[in-house]
Structure 1
Amino acid sequence: MSKATRDRTAREKLAEERRLQAQRDKQKRMLGAVGAAAAVIVVVVGVFVFVNSNRDKAEDFVGALAPTSRASDGSIVMAKAGVTSPVLEVFEDFQCPACKNLEKTSGNTFKQLAADGKAKVVYRPFRLFQQTPLKENSERAANAALCAPGDNWVPFHDKIYAEQPPEGKVGFSNSDLISWAAGLSTPITGDAFTQCVNGAEKSAQVQAMTDYALKVGKVESTPTVKLDGKDITNDAFVPSDLKKAVADAG
């Protein structure tokens, strides 16, 4: 090989090495930029999760419940004397997992708003599910809730949600519902209640409340929360947003 050829080959090798090094440097810069961007994304996501976890955090309830009573249509009204507005309506199905989540997240906020005299809360349980065994579970729970006295209804309501069976599983047996009611701090007992639960004596009213929710309330899913007739379900899942909506309405 001549000297000229050797020199040319050496120059070509050097040029190739420089090209490869430049390519490696470019890749490092790109990976660095991606890494930095990923770090920013992680921070942003972390902040978002932190903020939203705090916004969605369930609140404690302080004090005594506002008086509760049963209206003629079967709904339960929770409000201080003289408070007639704004009206918060909670359309719910005891078998509905999202309803249980709403109760877990904002149940205490509903109670506090009523106890502070800031809203009249109206619970409207009904049977949304139509497939077995969800329909039967929902029916038994709604019937038992209608059998319970209005002045001791809210603790029973909360207990039913606490014992909600998984979707697709048979649950809310009459014997369990009767046992749970008897185990409350202020027990619900007696032959009248037991016979009402076992005999499904409120089934016609369950149907009437279901018809009201679907036809009059125009409810398409559960839970549905309305404030003076306006759907605020999304706000209801965030306690701070729920309180703001009620304050704005008031």
Structure 2
Amino acid sequence: MSKADRGRSARQRLAEERARQAARERQQRLLVIVLGAVAAAAIIVVAVVLVRNAGGGSEPGSDYKGELAPATRQPDGSVAMAKAGVAKPMLELYEDFQCPACKNLEDRLGATIKEQAAAGKVKVVYRPFRLFRQEPLKSNSQRAANAAACAPAGSWIRFHDRLFAEQPDEGEAGFENADLVEWGREAGITGDAFAKCVDGGEKNAMVDQATAHAAKAGVSATPTLMLDGKQVAGGALTPDGLTKAIEAAGT
């Protein structure tokens, strides 16, 4: 082999080695990218699980199996839940079925509120209204509030809890009329009147009145709890804290 041939062969081997090294580096970079993506996905999955577990993983009100105080529809469209003869103290709950904070409050305090009413310790007045003004939240809220206004008092609490259990994610359309009618049926609402009321938006005017009432009462955010006209806040927004606040108001 001539000197020139040996030089070309050495250059060729060097080029081939460099090509193999570049290929190995590309594979290593690809492996790092893939492993990073897998790790990120794992972190997301863990975060989702933690968030769900932090929320209790149960439907609002679904863990309460005790007695319910009788519910009655009041002249202004609100729903009162109280034992016969109990008028004070009065706990008013202003809520929007599309409001995530309201769903969270129902998760935390719904059972306590029901227990206190069933024990004759408090009169609870539910005042759902439409807080949101942007779409699709506004229409979601309006349809749910209309359906709640259509629901008979005897099935209202179960339907109320189901609405929070089925709350759409923010930014997504939901609370469709067909679903609302089906959830009502599952809550024990029978007959065609409810479906007609939901589909026709027959209680939209009542929802508007409830919204105006909330504004007049100074409610600017949901959820808002009023105990004998005074807003419940801070440490009273826990099961033990709310129980003590109701007991103090009843003395």
Shift of 1:195: 0.6
For 1:39, the equivalent position in structure 2 comes to none
Normalising to structure 2: TM-score of the pair?
0.73
Does 2:83 correspond to 1:77? no
Call closer, same or farther: CA 1:176–1:78 in 2, change over 3 Å: same
For 2:8, the equivalent position in structure 1 comes to none
For 2:232, the equivalent position in structure 1 comes to 232
Q: What code does the residue aligned with 1:222 have?
A: T
For 1:195, the equivalent position in structure 2 comes to 196
Q: Deviations over 1:202-238 (max 9, x none)?
A: 00000000000011x1101000000000000434531
Structure 1 distance, partners of 2:144, 2:218, is: 22
Superposition map of 1:1-250 within 5 A: 61=64, 63-184=66-187, 187-215=188-216, 217-250=217-250
Structure 1 distance, partners of 2:64, 2:117, is: 11
Q: Which runs of 5+ in 1 are unaligned?
A: 1-52
Q: Which moved more, 1:64-73 or 1:187-196?
A: 187-196
For 2:9, the equivalent position in structure 1 comes to none
Structure 2 distance, partners of 1:190, 1:130, is: 32
Q: CA RMSD in A?
A: 1.6
Q: What code does the residue aligned with 1:241 have?
A: G
Shift of 1:128: 0.3
Q: Which runs of 5+ in 2 are unaligned?
A: 1-53, 55-59
Structure 2 distance, partners of 1:203, 1:213, is: 15
Matched-pair contact (CA < 8 Å) for 1:62–1:112: no
Structure 1 distance, partners of 2:156, 2:67, is: 14
Q: Deviations over 1:143-163 (max 9, x none)?
A: 000000012100000000000
Shift of 1:62: 5.6
Q: Deviations over 1:168-215 (max 9, x none)?
A: 10000000000111112xx21221111100000000000000000011
**Structure 1 outlier segments of 4+, above 4 Å:** none
SS at match of 2:154: helix
Matched-pair contact (CA < 8 Å) for 1:127–1:142: yes
Q: What code does the residue aligned with 2:157 have?
A: V
For 2:35, the equivalent position in structure 1 comes to none
Call closer, same or farther: CA 1:69–1:158 in 2, change over 3 Å: same
Q: What code does the residue aligned with 1:92 have?
A: E
For 2:13, the equivalent position in structure 1 comes to none
